[in-house]
Amino acid sequence: MSNGGGAPSSTTHLLDFLEEPIPGVGTYDDFHTIDWVREKCKDRERHRKINSKKKESAWEFTKSLYDAWSGWLVVTLTGLASGALAGLIDIAADWMNDLKEGVCLSALWFNHEQCCWTSNETTFAERDKCPQWKSWAELILGQAEGPGSYIMNYFMYIYWALSFAFLAVCLVKVFAPYACGSGIPEIKTILSGFIIRGYLGKWTLMIKTITLVLAVASGLSLGKEGPLVHVACCCGNIFSYLFPKYSKNEAKKREVRRRGTVVICAFQPSALSLLQVSYYFPLKTLWRSFFAALVAAFVLRSINPFGNSRLVLFYVEYHTPWYLFELIPFILLGVFGGLWGSTRFGKYPVLEVILVAAITAVVAFPNPYTRQNTSELIKELFTDCGPLETSQLCQYRSQMTGNDAGPGVYSAMWQLCLALIFKIIMTIFTFGLKVPSGLFIPSMAIGAIAGRIVGIAMEQLAYYHHDWFLFKEWCEVGADCITPGLYAMVGAAACLGGVTRMTVSLVVIVFELTGGLEYIVPLMAAVMTSKWVGDAFGREGIYESHIRLNGYPFLDAKEEFTHTTLAREVMRPRRSDPPLAVMTQDDMTVEELQATINETSYNGFPVIVSKESQRLVGFALRRDITIAIENARRKQEGILPNSRVYFTQHAPTLPADSPRPLKLRSILDMSPFTVTDHTPMEIVVDIFRKLGLRQCLVTHNGRLLGIITKKDILRHMAQMANQDPESIMFN
Amino acid sequence: MSNGGGAPSSTTHLLDFLEEPIPGVGTYDDFHTIDWVREKCKDRERHRKINSKKKESAWEFTKSLYDAWSGWLVVTLTGLASGALAGLIDIAADWMNDLKEGVCLSALWFNHEQCCWTSNETTFAERDKCPQWKSWAELILGQAEGPGSYIMNYFMYIYWALSFAFLAVCLVKVFAPYACGSGIPEIKTILSGFIIRGYLGKWTLMIKTITLVLAVASGLSLGKEGPLVHVACCCGNIFSYLFPKYSKNEAKKREVRRRGTVVICAFQPSALSLLQVSYYFPLKTLWRSFFAALVAAFVLRSINPFGNSRLVLFYVEYHTPWYLFELIPFILLGVFGGLWGSTRFGKYPVLEVILVAAITAVVAFPNPYTRQNTSELIKELFTDCGPLETSQLCQYRSQMTGNDAGPGVYSAMWQLCLALIFKIIMTIFTFGLKVPSGLFIPSMAIGAIAGRIVGIAMEQLAYYHHDWFLFKEWCEVGADCITPGLYAMVGAAACLGGVTRMTVSLVVIVFELTGGLEYIVPLMAAVMTSKWVGDAFGREGIYESHIRLNGYPFLDAKEEFTHTTLAREVMRPRRSDPPLAVMTQDDMTVEELQATINETSYNGFPVIVSKESQRLVGFALRRDITIAIENARRKQEGILPNSRVYFTQHAPTLPADSPRPLKLRSILDMSPFTVTDHTPMEIVVDIFRKLGLRQCLVTHNGRLLGIITKKDILRHMAQMANQDPESIMFN
Query: What pLDDT is recorded for position B697?
Result: 92
pLDDT in tens, B352-362: 778 888 888 88
Of A529, A533, A474, A545, nearest in space to A184 by CA: A545
CA distance A500 to chain B (A): 15
Determine, for residues A506 and B678 on separate chains, whether the beta-carbon distance falls below 8 Å.
no
Measured between beta carbons, the chain A residues lying within 8 angstroms of B283 are: 275-276, 557-558
Determine, for residues A6 and B678 on separate chains, whether the beta-carbon distance falls below 8 Å.
yes
Determine, for residues B614 and A702 on separate chains, whether the beta-carbon distance falls below 8 Å.
yes
Bond into B407 cis (ω within 30): no
Helix (H, G, I), strand (E, B) or coil at A449: helix
Determine, for residues A680 and B690 on separate chains, whether the beta-carbon distance falls below 8 Å.
no
Query: What pLDDT is recorded for position B5?
Result: 39
Query: What pLDDT is recorded for position A516?
Result: 53
Measured between beta carbons, the chain A residues lying within 8 angstroms of B699 are: 674, 702
Determine, for residues B701 and A47 on separate chains, whether the beta-carbon distance falls below 8 Å.
no
CA distance A690 to chain B (A): 7
- A619 φ, ψ (degrees, to nearest 5): -140, 135
CA distance linking residue A307 with residue A111, whole number of Å: 10
- H or E element at residue A647: none
User: Per-residue pLDDT averaged across A222-228, rounded?
Assistant: 79
Determine, for residues B287 and A703 on separate chains, whether the beta-carbon distance falls below 8 Å.
no
User: Per-residue pLDDT averaged across B246-254, rounded?
Assistant: 71
Higher pLDDT, B438 or A336: A336
- Angstrom distances, CA of residue B256 to CA of A520, A560, B51, B297: 21, 19, 22, 18
Phi-psi label, residue A269: left if phi above 0, alpha if psi -120 to 50, beta otherwise: alpha
pLDDT band at A11 (very low <50, low <70, confident <90, very high): very low
- Percentage of chain A modeled with pLDDT above 90: 6
CA distance linking residue A150 with residue A128, whole number of Å: 15
CA distance linking residue A290 with residue A655, whole number of Å: 64
pLDDT in tens, A162-200: 999 889 888 888 888 888 887 877 877 777 777 788 888
Helices (H), A681-720: 681-691, 710-720
CA distance linking residue B453 with residue B460, whole number of Å: 11
Domains of chain A, CATH where assigned: 72-303 (1.10.3080.10), 324-550 (1.10.3080.10), 567-721 (3.10.580.20)
Query: What pLDDT is recorded for position B606?
Result: 92
Determine, for residues B671 and A675 on separate chains, whether the beta-carbon distance falls below 8 Å.
yes
Measured between beta carbons, the chain A residues lying within 8 angstroms of B613 are: 702
CA distance B568 to chain A (A): 9
Among A18-22, A113-117, B619-623, whose mean pLDDT is lowest? A18-22
Query: What pLDDT is recorded for position B388?
Result: 61
DSSP for B330-366, please give it. Answer: HHHHHHHHHHHHTS--S--TTS-HHHHHHHHHHHHTT
pLDDT band at B308 (very low <50, low <70, confident <90, very high): very low
The winner for highest mean pLDDT among A443-452, B335-344, B475-484 is: A443-452
Helix (H, G, I), strand (E, B) or coil at A498: helix
pLDDT in tens, A234-265: 888 888 778 777 777 777 776 666 555 554 44
Measured between beta carbons, the chain A residues lying within 8 angstroms of B618 are: 676, 678
CA distance linking residue A586 with residue A594, whole number of Å: 15
Measured between beta carbons, the chain A residues lying within 8 angstroms of B282 are: 557-558
Q: Count residue pairs from A and B with Cβ separation < 8 A.
A: 172
pLDDT in tens, A369-405: 888 878 778 888 887 776 666 677 776 665 545 556 6
Whether B338 has a pLDDT exceeding 90, the answer reads no
A362 and A158 Cβ atoms separated by less than 8 Å? yes
Higher pLDDT, A615 or B406: A615
Q: How are beta strands B674-676 and B695-700 bridged, if at all? A: parallel
pLDDT band at B479 (very low <50, low <70, confident <90, very high): low
B688 and B571 Cβ atoms separated by less than 8 Å? no
Chain A residue with minimum CA distance to B517: A298
Higher pLDDT, A618 or B21: A618
Bond into A573 cis (ω within 30): yes
Query: What pLDDT is recorded for position A257?
Result: 62
Determine, for residues B276 and A291 on separate chains, whether the beta-carbon distance falls below 8 Å.
no
| Residue of A265, A294, A561 best to disrupt the B interface, most CBs of B under 10 A | A294
Measured between beta carbons, the chain A residues lying within 8 angstroms of B6 are: 568, 677-678
User: Per-residue pLDDT averaged across B131-151, rounded?
Assistant: 83
Spell out a b/e string for A560-584, using b for 16 or more CB atoms within 10 Å of the CB, else e.
ebebeebbbebbeeeeeeeebbbbb
Measured between beta carbons, the chain B residues lying within 8 angstroms of A275 are: 283
Among A125-139, A143-157, A297-311, B333-347, whose mean pLDDT is lowest? A297-311
Residue-averaged pLDDT of chain B: 76
Determine, for residues B276 and A297 on separate chains, whether the beta-carbon distance falls below 8 Å.
no
CA distance B55 to chain A (A): 17
CA distance linking residue B230 with residue B185, whole number of Å: 10
pLDDT band at A454 (very low <50, low <70, confident <90, very high): very high
A84 and A299 Cβ atoms separated by less than 8 Å? yes
Q: Is 0.95 surpassed by the pTM of this model?
A: no
Determine, for residues A615 and B703 on separate chains, whether the beta-carbon distance falls below 8 Å.
yes
pLDDT in tens, B51-98: 788 778 888 888 888 877 777 787 778 778 877 888 888 888 888 988
pLDDT band at A276 (very low <50, low <70, confident <90, very high): very low
- Percentage of chain B modeled with pLDDT above 90: 6
Helices (H), B537-621: 542-550, 567-570, 590-599
Neighbours of B231 (CB within 10 A): 28
Considering only the beta carbons, identify the residue of B520, B671, B703 that sits closest to A702.
B703
Spell out a b/e string for B634-659, using b for 16 or more CB atoms within 10 Å of the CB, else e.
eeeeebeeebbbbbbbbbeeeeeeee
| Residue of A532, A690, A697, A698 best to disrupt the B interface, most CBs of B under 10 A | A690
CA distance B79 to chain A (A): 13
Measured between beta carbons, the chain B residues lying within 8 angstroms of A562 are: 44, 47-48, 51
Chain B residue with minimum CA distance to A679: B671
User: Per-residue pLDDT averaged across B510-524, rounded?
Assistant: 63
| Residue of B301, B690, B704 best to disrupt the A interface, most CBs of A under 10 A | B690
Whether B213 has a pLDDT exceeding 70, the answer reads yes
Cα radius of gyration rounded to whole Å, chain B: 31
Among A237-251, A628-642, B570-584, B717-731, whose mean pLDDT is lowest? B717-731
Report residue A343 CA to chain centroid gap: 19
Determine, for residues A294 and B675 on separate chains, whether the beta-carbon distance falls below 8 Å.
no
CA distance linking residue A105 with residue B324, whole number of Å: 41
Determine, for residues B701 and A562 on separate chains, whether the beta-carbon distance falls below 8 Å.
no
Among B128-132, B197-201, B277-281, B390-394, whose mean pLDDT is lowest? B277-281
Query: What pLDDT is recorded for position B210?
Result: 92
pLDDT band at B126 (very low <50, low <70, confident <90, very high): low
User: Per-residue pLDDT averaged across B558-574, rounded?
Assistant: 80
Q: How are beta strands B604-608 and B583-584 bridged, if at all? A: parallel
Whether B23 has a pLDDT exceeding 70, the answer reads no
pLDDT in tens, B595-616: 988 888 888 899 999 888 889 9
